[in-house]
A and B are shown apart, each in its own frame.
Chain A
Amino acid sequence: MNNINNAWIEWKKVCDLAKCSKETKMILNDYADSILRKSIHKISYSSLFAENFLKGSAFTYFEMYSLSKTYSQKEDEFKGKSYKDGIFLKTASSQDSSEKIINGCFNLYLKAAIREMYKDELEEHDNEISADQPLKNQEDSTLLDLLPDAVEIESAFEDEELLYLAEKCKSELFNALSFQDKAILLSVFLGISYSTSKALQKVTDLSKSTLGYHFQKLFKEKKYAYAIRNIYPNERQENTEIIYGYAMILLKDEIFSWGNSEKRCEPLFIEGGRSGAFFDGGKKK
């Protein structure tokens, strides 16, 4: 067998490169350097940091995959090096040449290790990026577009008695709502997110951050709950909040007919008609 094959076998048998013979150390470090040297300087994130990779010890980065747990028994230390078993079993059972498989694995492992090493440095550089700044590789979006404030309306009313009370007081709630809050409610019914909607900013004449403030007041802090309390002063706060929520939902028809009669709201209907906004709680699976 040639020298590099012998070196791989020695490396597999002992714990890590530091414990290998001088010759094996040299062979495997040269091998790692030759792969790394071709690529690392082309990565744009940090030219200074890249130099650190080229000091004849590139194999160390590959060995970052050793799990550092302290095992109680000497022979158990090899469990932390299971990745070696994975690479060697794949190599032994592949129809491709050993060189192809080992190079493939080595490249992949090295890439992931480099990414992790850059991580801290990236964080230092990127602390000042604002939520409104376009994203790298995705210039149409900002961080806020990916995490817009959102509200999801439950379709079922669980408490029929409170629903009855909500039905009776919804007109008072409608009358209490300001123009901007009616427009925000309309945008919710249209499936539009305030933080991505240009139409809502135009209709309400509010900036994105002020809209966010209104949104929070309306849905989270239940700004108009006082209107419900005025009508049902003896209800517990918990019930008042549920009636508030029910009444908001029951206002859907009124809000739509109000919006249709308000010429200013037209951009919302246009945007809502083509909006793909949705809220699924982010639970893909």
Chain B
Amino acid sequence: MTNNNSPFRVYIAENWEKEKLKKWLNLWNLKKEIDTTFKENSFEPYNVINSEDSVFKEKIKEIVRDFDKFPKEGEIRLLSPEFDLEISLPKYIAVLRKWPENTFLVSPFSPISIAAVQGEFEAGKKHFSLANMELWNSTIAPLQVLERSWLADELTQEQTNDAFLVFKFIATGIDLPERLKKRIGPPIFAEDDPRNEYQNEEEIKYLLFKEACEKAMETESALFNLYQTVKTKIRIFIGENLSTEYRPMAAGQANKADFSIPVKDSDFEIVVEWDEYEEVTKFWIKGEKASEICAKNNKLVVVFENGETVVHKFDNNKNIFLKIPKKNYPIAEIKFSLE
């Protein structure tokens, strides 16, 4: 469709495009007709939650599977219904690529099994609800949002790569390999094309999911870029024993490494202090027994979320401060070993 050696881009519809659009329009019209027919005949059920219904709700909650953690490329996942604006068909999404900083490029599947527009791709899955991918409706999902889903199926490596090529085709305009050209849909030209209505409907369906992704990423980016971050729960160990689980947010502190942690059953606090001039996190001991603790060869070990550790020896009051340059992972644990 694009003429590489010419300043013209000429589009002349091919027969397969006309055929595909015809089939799609037939399905779209059928969908409208079925929607209307079912609506006319629908009845509003008695909408009261009585005690029997409450028992039923409790029972079914118990038999729902837990979400599947650790999403991977090529997986097809069913999103949690918490992302539904209203009662909805299953929202299946494909995990296309692992993206930087614990995020993933994901793409929904269309409820209509024929590719409607150039940004849709018939990847080769046989089941009708997984037959057609909406690459135009892709989004970046952070891990914590994407984990609110169940693993349902998988794409092959080839299907995943092909879908990513179609994504690049619509996002950057790269040429599509010949073998994929008939597996996408035809372009849209007219403003009154019913596919515009379809795309709007599909976009709205994923609104809550996309909002949740954006919100989570805004938080993430604030955490990662400005200062040393901490996990929502920092575990303090004295020797091998877990002494304290400190939650900075619950204590009215920020996610920034800048607060004092009272250690349970002891006479000291661990001060964690972000120094924005030196861009280091300082650790030191505060309290009546601080001097006594630092006078011995006690050790302080800071553990980051990725498992990285920094060990500090107080060495008879010589090294009162531990200073750690900013790292990209949050602080997860502080271990204190007393002699």
Q: Determine the main DSSP class of B at the interface with A.
A: mixed
Nearest B residue to A133 via CB reads B22
Nearest A residue to B60 via CB reads: A88
B99 interface residue per 8 A CB criterion: no
Listed stretches A19-27, A173-181, A212-220; interface member: A212-220
In the bound assembly, the distance between CA atoms of A97 and B12 in angstroms comes to 53
Given known pairs A9-B63, A241-B5, the reply for A42 and B41 (CB within 8 Å) is yes
The stretch from A135-143, A202-210, A254-262 touching chain B is A135-143
Given contacts A9-B63, A83-B90, A86-B90, contact A126 B22 (CB under 8 A): yes
Is residue A78 contacting chain B, with contact meaning CB distance below 8 A?
yes
Of listed A38, A107, A282, residue having the most chain B CB within 10 A: A282
Q: Does A190 contact B (CB under 8 A)?
A: no
Which residues of the other chain, B, contact A245 by a CB distance below 8 angstroms? 6-8
Chain A contacts with B in 87-130, Cβ cutoff 8 A:
87-93, 95-101, 103-105, 107-112, 114-116, 118-119, 122-123, 126, 129
With A141-B192, A282-B118 as known contacts, state yes or no: A151 contacts B152, CB within 8 Å. no
Residue pair A143, B22 in contact (C-beta under 8 Å): yes
Q: How far apart sit A19 and B263, CA to CA, in the bound complex (Å)? A: 57
For B27, the chain A residues whose CB sits under 8 A away are 115, 119, 122
Given contacts A122-B30, A151-B9, A242-B6, contact A279 B59 (CB under 8 A): no
Q: Which of B17, B32, B190 contacts A145 (CB 8 A)?
A: B190
Chain B nearest CB: distance from A225 CB in Å? 10
- Residues 234-248 of A, flagged 1 when their CB comes within 8 A of B and 0 if not, give 000010011011101
The minimal Cβ–Cβ distance linking B184 to chain A, given in whole angstroms, is 10
B296 contacts partner chain A, Cβ-Cβ < 8 Å: no
Candidates B8, B63, B151; contact of A154 at CB < 8 Å: B8
Chain A residues with CB below 8 A from B151, complex form: 79, 82
CB neighbors of A among B55-114 (8 A): 55-61, 63-65, 68, 78-82, 84, 87-91, 111, 113
Contact partner of B150 among A43, A85, A246, CB < 8 A? Answer: A85
Chain A residues contacting B150 (CB-CB under 8 Å) are 79, 82, 85-86
Which of chain A's residues have a CB closer than 8 A to the CB of B79? 86
Q: With a CB–CB cut-off of 8 A, which chain B residues contact A56?
A: none
Known: A88-B60, A151-B8, A216-B12. A123 touches B46 (CB 8 A): no
- Decide: B47 and A100 in contact? CB cutoff 8 A: yes
* B210 CB, nearest partner CB in chain A, Å: 12
* Contact A89 B17, CB 8 Å, known A42-B37, A281-B187: no
Q: Which of B106-145 contact A (CB under 8 A)?
A: 111, 113, 117-119, 126-130, 136-137
Q: Of all chain A residues, which has the CB nearest B57?
A: A92
CB-nearest residue of chain B to A135:
B25
Q: Is the CB of A91 within 8 A of B60?
A: yes
B11–A150 CB distance below 8 A: yes
* A277 close to B (CB within 8 Å): yes
User: How far in angstroms is the closest Cβ of chain B from A3?
Assistant: 12
Asked if A79 and B5 sit within 8 Å, CB to CB, the answer is no
Nearest chain B CB to A37 CB, angstrom units: 9
User: In the complex the two chains form, is B30's CB within 8 Å of A68's CB?
Assistant: no
**Given A277-B189, A282-B189, do A39 and B38 touch, yes or no (CB 8 Å)?**
yes
Closest to A136 in B: B29
Q: Which of A268-285 contact B (CB under 8 A)?
A: 276-285
Q: Which residues in chain B, 131-173, are within 8 Å of chain A measured between CB atoms? A: 136-137, 150-154, 170
Q: When chains A and B are docked, how far (Å) is the Cα of A43 from the Cα of B89?
A: 21
The CA-CA distance from A279 to B187 in the complex, in Å, is: 9
Contacts A136-B25, A220-B10 hold; do A285 and B170 have CB atoms under 8 A apart?
yes
**B65 surroundings in chain A (CB, below 8 A):** 78, 82, 85
- Please give the distance in Å from A42's CB to the nearest CB on chain B: 5
**A residues near B53, Cβ cutoff 8 Å:** 97-99
Question: In the complex the two chains form, is B64's CB within 8 Å of A85's CB?
Answer: yes
CB of A1 closer than 8 Å to a CB of B: yes
Q: Does A249 contact B (CB under 8 A)?
A: yes
Please determine whether B111 and A284 come into contact, CB atoms closer than 8 angstroms.
Answer: no
- Residue contact A281 to B21, C-beta cutoff 8 Å: no
Cβ contacts under 8 Å, B188 to chain A: 146, 280, 282, 284
Q: Which residues of B contact A141 (CB under 8 A)?
A: 190, 192
Listed in ascending order, the chain B residues whose CB lies under 8 Å from chain A are 3, 5-13, 17-18, 21-23, 25-27, 29-35, 37-38, 40-42, 44-49, 52-53, 55-61, 63-65, 68, 78-82, 84, 87-91, 111, 113, 117-119, 126-130, 136-137, 150-154, 170, 186-194, 196, 199
The 3 closest A-B pairs by CB, nearest first: A282-B187, A90-B81, A104-B87
Contacts A/B (CB < 8 Å), 11 sampled: A5-B52, A86-B81, A90-B81, A97-B49, A98-B49, A129-B22, A138-B192, A145-B190, A148-B13, A219-B10, A282-B117
Given contact pairs A122-B26, A147-B21, enumerate 14 new A-B contacts (beta carbons under 8 Å).
A5-B59, A64-B128, A80-B152, A82-B90, A85-B64, A97-B47, A98-B49, A103-B45, A146-B189, A147-B186, A148-B190, A154-B9, A220-B3, A280-B187
